[in-house]
Chains A and B, each alone.
Chain A
């Protein structure tokens, strides 16, 4: 039973390019969460999705960031026109239900570097 799979593990983008981060939840998990970890910081909530639905995107920057979790395929976090401040580690987590009774299972993250 594979864990939460994130790819790519490392992503380098030039300023102004688009970044696409992928997350496949654990088998049987229908709830996906994206968190961002800035240098020297803990993880901060960005968005919570279920299949084909965005439940809460209150942690997402208002511009350039979007997320989806289609009926088929992985969840995608998309960052358009990246800037240096977007450089961070982006983590995806999944759970079988929407409350972390058991704690979430996290992926290994995608480290985005904007040059």
Chain B
């Protein structure tokens, strides 16, 4: 069974600084998708960024980028120029290439200090 591990229960960053959230996963599949979701206090699950495993190029969405290391099964999220609105719980998620189920990690609570 696939598992997703987020080893940092909590992280903090100063406003305008950069922070990296870690995620590792375990799978025997070669084709899959990886996601980072943000959950602010409103509880809404917001898709931040996605990565297809067959793509070697790391995904980027504005201030958010990933470091995808397929061999190491690592998928970290880098947030540049952190803003107060980035404060939230961040979840890493995995989906097999032909599987509709998302497997989530336990989340990392990010605090942004002014």
Contact = CB atoms under 8 A, between A and B. Distances in A.
Contacts of A35: 102
Interface of B: 4, 33, 35, 37, 42-47, 50, 91, 93, 95, 97-107
Contacts, number: 65
A85 to B, nearest CB: 18
A89 B37 CA distance: 16
A44 B44 CA distance: 15
How many interface residues does chain A have, given as a range?
20 to 34
Contacts of B42: 108
Given A33-B102, A99-B95, A104-B47, 5 more contacts: A45-B101, A55-B100, A59-B101, A103-B50, A109-B45
Given A48-B100, A100-B102, A42 B50 contact: no
B102 A43 contact: yes
A102 B95 CA distance: 11
A66 to B, nearest CB: 19
Contacts of A33: 100, 102
A63 B31 CA distance: 34
Interface string A77-115: 000000000000101010100111111111111010000
